[in-house]
Structure 1
Amino acid sequence: MKKFEWLMLSFLSIILIFGTGCSSKKEDKIDKKNDEKTEKVSVFKESEIELPKDAGHVLDILPNNNGQLMIVMKTKDEKTIKTMTSENNGKSWEDQVDIGTQLTGTQKEYADVRLAEDGRGLIRTVIADGPDESNLRQEIFELTKDKKIEKLSNEINTMITEQKIQTLFWVDEKQAVGLGEKGSFLFDMTSGNAQQILSEKELVLSFEQYKNNLYFLTLNGFKKINLENAKVESLSKAFTEANKIVLKEKNIENIVFAFDGKDDQSLLLSLTDDIVKVSDKGQQKFMEKRATQLSNPKNKLLNVIPGGKKNILAFLETPDGNKLFNYNPEGQKEVKNTEANTLKIYALTENELRQNEAVRVASNDYENKHTDIKVSLEIGVEDGVTFNDALKKLNTQLASGDGPDILLLDGVRAQNYIDQNLLLDLAEIIKEQQSDKIFTNVLSAYKQGDKYYGLPMTFAGMSAYGDSDLAKHTNSLKELTDYLVKLSQKSKTPVFENYNFDNMMLVFYRIYYSNVKQEWTKQDVTDFYTSIKRLYDLVYMKNIKEWDLSESTTLVVGRGVLYNVALGEVQTAFDYVDNYFVIEETEISKKIDKSFSESILKDNKMQYYIPQNILAISSKSDKQDQAYEFLKNALSEDVQSQLSISGIPVSKQSFKQMIKEQSFPEVKKIQLDSGKKKEVQFEGISETTINQWTEKFEGLNKPSSFDDTIFSILMENIDEVVSGKMSPKSASKKAYRKIELYMAE
């Protein structure tokens, strides 16, 4: 059966979310010894299948009708695109068709090729017309059974372009299905007729075909399409059961499915922790992912291909490129699932993108080194549970000794737990770290006296970008606001990007109002609202008035607004420094504009930073030794070297290596939303520059300890304040009452 994974480019750059394993509720301590459950689990041997030596990005991979493994790929040098086959599971590969020799320019650069089991394929290319290459149109070619490449009719090419199709594949001799921005369509490739089968609101994640039925997995669950009449039909009992499973998953975007057998009455579902087999009789565990490449949160599963001997092939996207693994069954083993062999980690919220990626990397590495221990990550705010209810439940569990072993302090007011002696002192771990290897200044984020109560795995800086005088006016939010008002009066150039206002507002809150502050005053709240209202009025906001600032994300992630400053679109920008992309953008901006200035935000004495993925150990845990080992391992190069997108790793070596491993283009092409373009010669980031950034991070000395609850309270009235419906003073009265109540609790 053919299996595809379809992800839109914008979806790829934004959604890289990995699922979590939720720990079950702890039973009464008296019954713990009787809480042992033994289950039989199939054991699989993992082995990597070698892809062709010159394989770069793999566009499609599947078995053909002759039992061969078929692949279509771009070569590493990106000079061509070709198809190859293997009769012996990758031990040797044979060239079939060199597609790239018949494509030129943007055709080759943007080509997408999808194969059918009979060896045919559809090649979707993009042509850029006009002197500025702004007019884009698609050209579609057919790869025939006799290995020829033929351009399809103008009518079909026009139709595909009009529907903005991004993935196109054969479903029979004459029909193809296209997935695009306007929805999913069934195309008659002889007449050019198109029938819409799914709306643009039903984003397709993956799909499988069985005879005349096409099964889609969308964000809304499974859909079955009859290809003879292009109609949605009722799901079978097996798919109805599978639908119940996928809709309960927190991150449906990561689910991959494939048929298990010769019909569509049984399927495999790749879920967070396991691959399960689903039929009309229900579901059963097929394979555990733990201690395999499938459990590594750095890898994304793109395709599952059932083999002929109860084995499966798994096609992955990894930091080192595409990889293919074979899993052969080797019998079964009995596994005991008990409280005693489960190390429980708790995070209050699951932020977007992959905020807890670092914790999952650490969990995966720990499980691989301790095969008798299972690490579970529980998210408090989910499945309809409110923030306040989750927090109250956590507080009760910690106080009673029935809580997690390890607690993430991100978004939590840690001082409450410190005052109640609910967190262990981590000085033994932190003091043994060497300053030449670790940003030990960052590890001091939760230091009180001689004790340390939290261990950040990653961190982020917060920087101001603009003229050289900007950094001289950051001692308070009022002072900074006054300076930005003056800039707005001196020039017609916008002071900052309006679409980045929510991010900027959060940066200012983190700097000036969340630095482990124990007492809030009504004046603090009034000052915050007053400054935010003044800033909101500085730029043209009409085109984003529909935004609800009250729903602003608390996720720390650099937005990439530096080029707007360097190219003169705006005067200033305020952003996080939390990954190598921001550092690259900063260095390129300095090449564009010699007067471009970047400075870590600070007041008269302190330079601010955000500790992230902060691990703490419950003093009531009965697995403190295991928890200590987990935290120590979290600082190891084995873990730190794998971190990339959930902050700057606290390991200096891993940070430097993260920059060095990036491949930077010799010529950086920049294009802003306004249409302004710039090409910059860029040879990469030098050793000297990397050391300068290291020294800059070594100077960070003021942690911003974010409290999700207080920020949420402030945001409840923010839309009324900036729109003028409520005065800052009135809003502060309402907010301050809630803050007082929260602090008292």
Structure 2
Amino acid sequence: MNQKLTKFICFLTTAILLCSCSPKGGGDAEKADSPAQAGTQTGTQTEAASDGQSPAGEGTASWRKTEIQKPEGAVYINSMNYLADGTLRINSSDADGQNPAVWDSRDNGGTWENADADTSLASDYGYHYSADGSLFIYDSTKLTISAGDGTESRSVSVNEEETISEAAMAGNTLAVLVYDQNSQLRLDVYDLSSMSCRTLENGELSEYLNSQSMGGIALDSSGGILYLTMGGTGELKIARYDLNQDRFSYLAESEEMARLLNPEEKNGLVNPNEKILLSIAVNGAEDKMVLRMLSPANSQTTLYLCEKGIWEEEKTASEGTLRIYSLYGGYEIRQAASLFQGMHPELEVSFETGYTGEDGVTLSDAIRTLNTELMAGEGPDLLVLDGLPADSYAGKGLLEDVTDIVEPSKEKYFYNMISAYNDGGKIFKLPTAFSVPVLLGDEETLAAENRDELMKVFEKKEDAGIPFITPENLAGTAGSLFITSDILGETVDEGKLADFYKDLEKIASQSMSDDERQEMEAYHKMTYWAETLYPSGGFSPDLELYFGEAQAGVGRISIYENFIQILAVRREKGLSYQYLNRENGNYFVAESVLGINSTGKHPEAARQFLEYYLSGEAQETMHFGHFSIIRSVMESTDREKYISENGEFIGQISRKYTPEKVMNLYKITPDELQELITFFEGCSRPVRDDALVLRKVMEQADACLFGGKDPESAAKDVCSEVNLYLSE
């Protein structure tokens, strides 16, 4: 790859990181599109009504978005602006970042022709033009204006540790957006006749610049009006600043921009084609603007024409609304619902989240509200059962039998988990993803088949000089030990729960000092684990075992990285893994569990969605959080990245506070992959993880370990609160 191409890719990589992560943003990365943005857009038309961009009300002007077809061979759009006569000008390059071209369109992107434009300056990052067609180029530190008319070229440079982010030129004005050494954005405005500079100090403008992420700027043809768009996603507004009257306002408010940028994000669905806004161009009448947008999913750019007017709302006949409900949300199912909506425009699809923790609705309120709806025959059509009393729903006849959907193709799935989750009978609850809790350690530790046996191993090893389990792993250990126990049955067993709390106290006392216990951060405690980390994340104990900082660990195998780290511990330290609390069966965590409401209003649509999800088509288009119940998806996910014949070295990892200690990682061999698959095939018992129960149990665990509460009182308080709920 040549130097120009390498710089090109680095440039855009910085842009994406800053635009996605930085609260204030900066850098010059977004002025050019990268060759990593492979693919040419087809230019399909997308009208406002079908995108959910209907006007706010009858007679109210609003923006409507239409995709612009790029010129043939124009893969990357490096810049764009409106010329003084209304011509839209873009600078493009091909798929290799080569063969720059300048194109003009006199009908707002409807047709294109090669422009007779100045290209006399050499640039790695594309050409830029003023409203009168004058050429200028810039990189992160210097901007150069072409002589053009035979005079000397002029240039602008920024100070050390500052970066040029964006620039625009029109009339007698050059505006430069600078990211300074204090991580702040500022606007420098140059008078082109004298090249004198002034920094804009309008308070509203400064607040706007530094309260959002980086973005683009543009000028009107006179150079008197400055347009700004700060922020790639979120509540983006396009600002308008009158340079002559020092007046700040908005050309498009956040609600309007939300409709334009993420039109499919309605009814709780996600936009599978979400894009980041890189830059804008606005015409003289301010009734048309062009958006240059980047798709993080495929690193491609697209141009959209937005027109302001009063539009007639186009209404399409709907066969009804397929309601999909999840207690916590869940990106994979939401994204699949969005894709399903695109396949079935005749059916409106909505995704509802019962509990967000942000609207005053408690977890128990959310579950009771859903239960009331279901019992009244008014509930959602499709339920994501994670955290819900799924067994109770099935027992009361609230879930439809979907055996006929799954059984004919059961060899396609890890059917052992599907069957176990339904007690070996008819299928009412369908787990579509899973993870497996595991115990890590030496042979003596792995021989423990239940918590009592594990505690006996602990008592033998508690004077070894290093923690049995690290403090950071305590919350995950507590949660995993609970969900793989028999404490929770039809109700919570108060005596067993009190014993559980006593065992946690023994482990905690050996794992940390009193001072360490007092200083324990909230995100390492049990309540945080139950509220935020389970089932999606948690602390991995593999490195502690690898570096001899713990004797045992409790983790989960949910993605290939987990297994690769466990194999490293086994290879280098002779330690291994086993099912956790396996005395009464080999536990697994069922995730993204789907069930069809037997009294729902759209049972056929719900079945269609379930069949679509089981096809694996949706999962193949996205990064799947945990292993899929669909064998082909699980085995093909990132296969080239993680699996090879010879198990080649792929890198190292370490903790931030131990950079001198690294774990060597190797790809999984086919034999090791078969070992993992066989391990999954041995799973025979789902964990009990009712969300409300789990949270209350973990809250009282914190009260015991960090608040001095006695285990018996803690267990009693849990049972008095949750057993009534469980018996409803």
Match of 1:531 in 2: 503
Whether 2:160 is the aligned partner of 1:156: answer yes
Identify the match of residue 446 of structure 1 among 402, 421, 428. 421
Deviation at 1:715, TM superposition (A): 3.2
Q: Distance in 1 between matches of 2:207 and 2:469?
A: 37
Gap regions ≥5 residues in structure 1: 13-39, 101-112, 124-140, 247-255, 258-267, 276-287, 351-355
Match among 292, 299, 308 for residue 322 of structure 1: 299
- Equivalent position of 1:522 in the other structure: 494
What is the deviation of 1:373?
1.4
Distance (whole Å) between structure 2 residues aligned to residue 722 and residue 310 of structure 1: 59
State how far apart, in whole Å, the 1-side matches of 2:251 and 2:703 are. Answer: 50
Is structure 2 residue 264 aligned with structure 1 residue 273? yes
Of the three residues 486, 498, 502, the one matched with 2:475 is: 502
In 2, the alpha carbon distance for the partners of 1:504 and 1:198 equals 48
**Number of the residue aligned with 2:631:** 652
The corresponding residue for 1:263 is none
Report the CA distance shift for 1:660/1:325 in structure 2 as closer, same or farther (over 3 A): same
Match of 2:324 in 1: 345
Distance (Å, rounded) in 2 between the aligned partners of 1:678 and 1:514: 39
Q: 2:546 aligns with which of 548, 566, 579?
A: 566
Q: In structure 2, do the counterparts of structure 1 residues 341 and 648 end up closer, same or farther at CA, with 3 Å as the change threshold? A: same
Determine the structure 2 residue equivalent to 1:204: 212
Structure 1 Cα separation of the partners of residues 250 and 156 of structure 2 = 42
User: Which structure: greater strand fraction?
Assistant: 1
State whether structure 2 residue 704 is matched by structure 1 residue 727.
no
Question: Are 1:460 and 2:435 an aligned pair?
Answer: yes
Q: Which moved more, 1:661-670 or 1:647-656?
A: 661-670
Matches for 1:338-487 after TM superposition, within 5 Å: 340-350=319-329, 356-382=330-356, 383-435=359-411, 437-448=412-423, 450-473=425-448, 475-484=449-458, 486-487=460-461
Give the CA deviation at 1:667. Answer: 4.6
CA deviations over 1:311-362 (Å, ceiling 9, x no partner)? 75542011xx412345689998843465x42111111223xxxxx1221233
Measure the CA separation in 2 of the matches of 1:699 and 1:472: 17
TM-fit CA distance, 1:449:
5.5
- Cα contact 1:46–1:328 (8 A) shared by 2: yes
Shift of 1:377: 0.5
In the TM superposition, what is the alpha-carbon distance from 1:678 to its structure 2 partner?
A: 5.7
Secondary structure at the counterpart of residue 621 of structure 1: coil
Q: Any residues of structure 2 matched to 1:696-715 within 5 Å, and which?
A: 696-715=679-698
- Displacement of 1:675: 3.1
Q: Counterparts of 1:679 and 1:270 in 2: how far apart (Å)?
A: 43
TM-score normalised to structure 1 length: 0.68
Q: Secondary structure at the match of 1:576?
A: strand
Displacement of 1:95 in angstroms is 13
Aligned-pair Cα RMSD in Å: 5.0
1:485 Cα offset (Å)? 5.1
Residue pair 1:358, 1:457 contacting (<8 A) in 2 also: no
Q: Find the residue that maps to 1:674 and give its secondary structure.
A: coil
Partner Cα separation in structure 2 for residue 688 and residue 92 of structure 1: 58
Letter in 2 for 1:630: F
Question: Which of 560, 564, 577 is residue 598 of structure 1 equivalent to?
Answer: 577
Q: Which moved more, 1:411-420 or 1:364-373?
A: 364-373
Q: CA deviation at 1:208?
A: 4.6
The letter for the 1-side match of 2:451 is L
1:575 partner SS: strand
Post-superposition CA distance 1:462-515 (Å, at most 9, x none):
223333433222x333433443454442133x4444334333332223222577
Structure 1 distance, partners of 2:113, 2:683, is 52
Partner SS state of residue 510, structure 2? coil
Q: Decide which structure has the larger Cα Rg and report it.
A: 2
SS of the residue corresponding to residue 662 of structure 1 reads helix
Q: Secondary structure at the match of 2:437?
A: strand
Deviation of residue 450 (structure 1)?
2.8
Shift of the alpha carbon at 1:608? 1.2
Q: How many residues align?
A: 613
**Partner SS, residue 511 of structure 2:** coil
Instruction: Indicate which of 516, 528, 551 corresponds to 2:528.
Output: 551
> Could you give the per-residue CA deviations for residues 512-553 of structure 1, whole angstroms, max 9, x where no partner exists?
2577x3221111321232223233333333585241633332
Who is 1:632 aligned against? 611
- The CA deviation at 1:404 is 0.6
Match of 1:718 in 2: 701
Please give the alpha-carbon distance, in whole angstroms, between the structure 2 residues aligned to 1:289 and 1:303: 22
